[in-house]
Amino acid sequence: MHDGCSGSFENGKQTVDKVRAMGFNEQYMPVPLEIKCENCENLFTMESFEDKCPKCNMVYGVTPCHAFDPSNIMAAGIDY
């Protein structure tokens, strides 16, 4: 079920699962965002709706509706 832009998620795994289910995980975000990995503190640019830290492989996800604000990006786990 698609909740449009009103959907909310409790954790990063739910976010990544939703992005994968919608088929957006490999699509590029409208504006790439620089984020700091919460696992290893590496700074990297998140370019797709699902991306991973190149240093430690922590997977991150954000839905297309919320991709303009780095605070909406959620970690799902290493190699999730």
pLDDT (tens digit per residue) in 28-40: 999 999 999 999 9
Q: How many domains does the chain divide into?
A: 1
2 part of a folded domain: no
Domain of 21 in residue numbering reads as 8-78
66 part of a folded domain: yes
Tokens for 58, please give them: 């922590």
pTM for the structure as a whole: 0.91
**pLDDT tens sequence across 43-75:** 999 999 999 999 999 999 999 999 999 999 999
Altogether, the residues listed in the chain come to a count of 80
Q: Return d(Cα 68, Cα 46) in angstroms, integer.
A: 11
More confident residue, 55 or 2: 55
Please name which of 39, 22, 37, 40 lies closest in space to residue 73, comparing C-alpha atoms: 37
